[in-house]
Amino acid sequence: MIASLLAATLLAAAPGPLSVVKSGNTDVQRAANAPGATVESLASVVEKFVDFEELAKRALGDKTWATLTPAQRKDFSQTMTGLLRASYAQKAIGQAQADVKYGKESIEGNEATVNTTLTLRKDQIPVDYRLYKSPKGEWRIYDVVTDEVSLVDTYKGQFQKLLGTKGFDGLLTTLKAKRAQLEKENAAQSAKGASGAATGGSAPSPTK
């Protein structure tokens, strides 16, 4: 009885979708503007509120996911999580100085959308965050829609083309190569950042 009441209290106290997006953006900007910030350090902050595995699963699609063995699911999830962490963090560093204005929060069952507007220099970009409620009762981001372009839908379209021409193994090989390329770029950028900090200079802008 006490355990049930405690669980209900914790669920009720869990931050809502808007709060998750706000605190996430605040943490990302703080990390991106910290001295010696790297893609890896920022990725560690981002993955606290973005569910890369859920994003990858939705992009692949339920039908394809259902045909995979447990080993294939694990390999795909790990590969995509690594790729998405690197890619997402790169973009976040590039948008560190952006001003974010928050719009409405829409909740339908276990799905939610939070509307924001990103002002970068003189450009205003609509960015919508899609979230789902995890089995633990936490709201987690699984998709980012930038100027009406969904990250999940973009990957889904690419995946379907590769699955049709190369099959799952070919898709996985392509993703692993892309992940290795991004991680190599990020490692080089981190090394330049460390060198710039040691000599008192500023690190060059990362590749977007």
Boundaries of every domain in the chain? 15-101+151-197
The C-alpha atoms of residue 133 and residue 125 are separated, in whole angstroms, by 26
The C-alpha atoms of residue 197 and residue 194 are separated, in whole angstroms, by 5
CB-based contact 89:40 (threshold 8 Å): yes
| The CA-based dihedral angle spanning residues 44, 24, 58, 185, taken in that order and rounded to the nearest 10 degrees | -40
For 142-190, the pLDDT digits (tens) are 999 998 999 999 999 999 999 999 999 999 999 999 999 888 887 776 6
Average pLDDT, the chain: 83
**Which is higher by pLDDT, 149 or 94?**
149
For 80-91, the pLDDT digits (tens) are 988 888 787 777
Residues with Cβ within 8 Å of residue 87, at least 6 apart in sequence:
182
